[in-house]
């Protein structure tokens, strides 16, 4: 009898080795290498995109291929539709990740109920909760519809039979780490099981046109557990973020074959589940302090949506040889760069000052259009000069201290005017070519010094 080949696979990143190692060379994790049987010879992952007419397909010119608009299933959840690119695409496989207890199961159960209310048959499969526990969750969320079917199962062969019987338009798998194939000797949640089960679900989604949402656990670093191949196989990867001790949750797409990855959906966790936040700017600004130095509002773009958030800075003399630079919600390296520009081009002596920056509301801002607001908040705190609470700052800063043009300036200023702001400090190059709202005054600046003069009076 032929000897079975074994290998050691990292359960965090999927790194494979012929021998056991205490520390994984791939992700530097300790004690993550687990022995598994080599399934290469009979792996089913090669055929996860097989179709009914495989073998008959022939190469054809792209000019002769008819382009069709992808049909979408409206979830009636505006925020989720935005993140997905307009709705759920039939036959798509979507991976949803997030910290434990953040609300992934609640979100998907609400999605299932919304579709079931439209007479769309939905199958919710839980490998972590019994059917009665799922029913209790649905009762707590006040969800009840006959077209929503629930099942507690982890064997993928029984799951496929249930999908055949119910014939749903949407299937939710909660979670992929609990599902297993009997043919694979590894335990549920191992790299081999996660890879092969995801391949099987991909085949079901593509051949039958069923949309499948799978929940993925995350590692301590916040990335989805299992091999990176898992994110490559699926059509969309959504991350559900937020602090467990705060009520607001943010849904982001880090991969989306059917839409943009720049969109953001915001929800608020309430007693009856997740409620959509249609105007996040009001939420992020409702607790803003006025008459305090180091605070300024910036208009940032999250995909096609302008969001106004408050930037806060605290500059204080350092007690150590090397000053501290701490930033929450923005890039730490970008803060250091802007402080160097302030010191060199404006003359602020910041080399002996500790700097602490924060984006209120727990939002992550990555675009360069927030540079001007960061610099103004730092200068305001350093000089202890209060900014006008009716000002909003928008602009990118170059190393020579110039204020550079930003995109979508009209949407940003319109959002600021809608929320009652009276002045917008924007790049000089962005003035002209668009209509300014009548209730807001636009001030164009070309250098950082001009911007500080306009906001802080020199």
Binding site, by residue number, is 98-105
Q: How far apart are CA 78 and CA 388, in angstroms?
A: 34
What are the distances in angstroms from CA 152 to CA 131, 134, 162, 175, 247?
Answer: 6, 9, 11, 11, 29
Q: What is the DSSP string of 149-161?
A: EEEE--BHHHHHH
What are the distances in angstroms from CA 6 to CA 13, 198, 252, 373?
Answer: 18, 22, 38, 56
Q: How far apart are CA 178 and CA 187, in angstroms?
A: 9
Angle at CA 50, nearest 5°, toward 109 and 224? 40
Q: How far apart are CA 51 and CA 57, in angstroms?
A: 10
Neighbours of 102 (CB within 10 A): 19
Q: Which of 439, 442, 444 is nearest to 419 (CA)?
A: 439
Q: Which residue has the tokens 């807001």?
A: 440
Q: How far apart are CA 223 and CA 215, in angstroms?
A: 13
Binding site members for ATP: 98-105
CB-based contact 220:32 (threshold 8 Å): no
CB-based contact 169:204 (threshold 8 Å): no
What are the distances in angstroms from CA 37 to CA 154, 155, 201, 271?
Answer: 21, 19, 22, 46
Q: How far apart are CA 377 and CA 298, in angstroms?
A: 10
Tokens coding 189: 């949640």
What is the gyration radius of the CA atoms in the chain, in angstroms?
A: 26
Q: Which of 382, 424, 418, 381 is nearest to 403 (CA)?
A: 424
Neighbours of 351 (CB within 10 A): 11
Tokens coding 317: 């003399």
- 284 bridge partner residues: none
Q: What is the DSSP string of 91-118?
A: T-EEEEEE-TTSSHHHHHHHHHHHHHHT
Tokens coding 145: 């519809």
- Sequence length of the chain is 458
Tokens coding 87: 């709705």
């Amino acid at each position: 009898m032929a000897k079975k080949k074994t290998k050691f696979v990292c359960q965090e990143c999927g790194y494979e080795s012929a021998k056991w190692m205490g520390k994984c060379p791939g992700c530097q994790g300790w004690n993550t290498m687990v022995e598994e049987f080599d399934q290469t010879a009979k792996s089913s992952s090669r055929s996860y995109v097989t179709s009914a007419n495989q073998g008959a397909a022939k190469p054809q010119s792209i000019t002769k291929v008819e382009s069709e608009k992808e049909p979408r299933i409206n979830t009636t959840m505006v925020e989720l539709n935005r993140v997905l690119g307009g709705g759920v695409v039939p036959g798509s496989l979507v991976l949803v990740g997030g910290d434990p207890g953040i609300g992934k199961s609640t979100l998907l159960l609400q999605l299932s109920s919304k579709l079931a209310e439209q007479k769309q048959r939905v199958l919710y499969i839980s490998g972590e909760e019994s059917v009665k526990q799922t029913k209790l969750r649905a009762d707590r969320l006040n969800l009840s519809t006959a077209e929503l079917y629930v099942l507690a199962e982890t064997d993928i062969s029984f799951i496929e039979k249930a999908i055949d019987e119910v014939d749903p338009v949407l299937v939710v798998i909660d979670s992929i780490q609990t599902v297993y194939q009997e043919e694979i000797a590894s335990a549920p949640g191992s790299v081999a099981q996660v890879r092969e089960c995801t391949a099987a679900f991909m085949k079901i989604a593509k051949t039958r046109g069923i949309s499948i949402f799978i929940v993925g656990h995350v590692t301590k670093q916040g990335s989805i557990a299992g091999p990176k191949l898992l994110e490559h196989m699926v059509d969309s990867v959504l991350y559900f973020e937020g602090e467990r001790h705060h009520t607001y949750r943010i849904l982001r797409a880090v991969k989306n074959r059917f839409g943009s990855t720049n969109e953001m959906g915001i929800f608020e966790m309430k007693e009856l589940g997740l409620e959509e936040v249609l105007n996040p700017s009001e939420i992020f600004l409702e607790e803003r302090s006025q008459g305090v130095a180091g605070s300024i509002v910036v208009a940032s773009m999250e995909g096609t949506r302008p969001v106004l958030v408050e930037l806060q800075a605290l500059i204080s003399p350092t007690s150590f040889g090397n000053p501290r630079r701490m930033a929450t919600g923005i890039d730490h390296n970008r803060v250091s760069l802007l402080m160097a520009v302030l010191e060199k081009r404006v003359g602020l002596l910041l080399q002996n000052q500790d700097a602490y920056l924060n984006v209120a509301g727990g939002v992550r801002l990555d675009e360069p259009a927030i540079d001007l607001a960061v610099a103004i908040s730092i200068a305001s705190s350093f000089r202890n000069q209060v900014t006008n609470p009716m000002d909003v700052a928008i602009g990118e800063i170059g190393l020579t201290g110039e204020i550079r043009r930003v995109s979508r300036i009209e949407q940003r200023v319109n959002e600021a005017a809608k929320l009652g702001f009276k002045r917008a400090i924007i790049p000089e190059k962005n003035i002209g070519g668009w209509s300014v709202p009548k209730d807001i005054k636009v001030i164009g600046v070309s250098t950082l010094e001009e911007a500080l003069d306009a906001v802080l009076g020199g």
